[in-house]
A and B are shown apart, each in its own frame.
Chain A
Amino acid sequence: KNQVEQSPQSLIILEGKNCTLQCNYTVSPFSNLRWYKQDTGRGPVSLTIMTFSENTKSNGRYTATLDADTKQSSLHITASQLSDSASYICVVSGVEGGSTLGRLYFGRGTQLTVWP
């Protein structure tokens, strides 16, 4: 069964500290993996998208890594800021048998809170 699991479910860190969020998936075959940031009551905003051949991608203080062999991804946030407080959602795209159209599988998200 295709699934996406994220950990931890929630995380509290102090401003200025670094943190790493995890995403494990069983989606196969795999097309791409993306991380979204969602502020409370708002729509998700894309942080990174990685295909099978990419193992690292950065967007400012956000760095995503991908290990397609172990089906694991992580999102590392450097020098956290209060504005980083949000839910971070991992989304994996796979192609179902016989279809040329990808299907999306969503993790439940990690709720990050940054305290001053």
Chain B
Amino acid sequence: KAGVTQTPRYLIKTRGQQVTLSCSPISGHRSVSWYQQTPGQGLQFLFEYFSETQRNKGNFPGRFSGRQFSNSRSEMNVSTLELGDSALYLCASSATDYSYEQYFGPGTRLTVT
């Protein structure tokens, strides 16, 4: 079974731009969660989607949004990028309940200059 894939793997953007990251979950998994990881804060939960619906949300500003498609693939969008948005963005997929077991993708390294 193929693992979780994320594209692109690396991205450089400038302040004020917007960015879209993509995540393809493991086949058959319906839950996709997104995380931001920085050296100072560790892993922080952004949101979780299940069957195209946002089921859970972390404490991030509205500039961070996401969506999930009918094939369970998910995208995350960040608008009006700030320098502090530089981070490793990870997505993870689960069969149903993300709080039990989830599988992480390799991440997208976003650098905002």
Interface residues, chain A, with chain B CB atoms under 8 Å away:
31-32, 34, 36, 41-46, 49, 89, 93, 95, 101-104, 106-109
Tell me which residues across on chain B come within 8 A of A45, comparing CB atoms.
104
Tell me which residues across on chain B come within 8 A of A34, comparing CB atoms.
101
Tell me which residues across on chain A come within 8 A of B45, comparing CB atoms.
104, 106
Q: Is B21 engaged at the interface, CB distance under 8 Å to the other chain? A: no
**Would A101 and B103 be within 8 Å (CB), given that A106-B42, A107-B42 are in contact?**
no
Complex contact A93–B99 (CB within 8 A)? yes
Give the interface size bracket for B toward A.
20 to 34
B interface secondary structure, majority = strand
Interface contact tally, CB-CB below 8 A:
52
Q: Is B107 engaged at the interface, CB distance under 8 Å to the other chain? A: yes
Interface residues, chain B, with chain A CB atoms under 8 Å away:
4, 42-45, 55-56, 88, 90, 92, 97-107, 109
Complex contact A89–B100 (CB within 8 A)? no
Alpha-carbon distance A44/B102, docked complex (angstroms): 10
Complex contact A93–B90 (CB within 8 A)? no
Q: Most chain-B Cβ atoms within 10 A of its Cβ — which of A41, A101, A102, A104? A: A104
Tell me which residues across on chain B come within 8 A of A106, comparing CB atoms.
42-45
Complex contact A44–B104 (CB within 8 A)? yes
Alpha-carbon distance A36/B56, docked complex (angstroms): 22
Nearest B residue to A51 via CB reads B100
Alpha-carbon distance A89/B92, docked complex (angstroms): 15
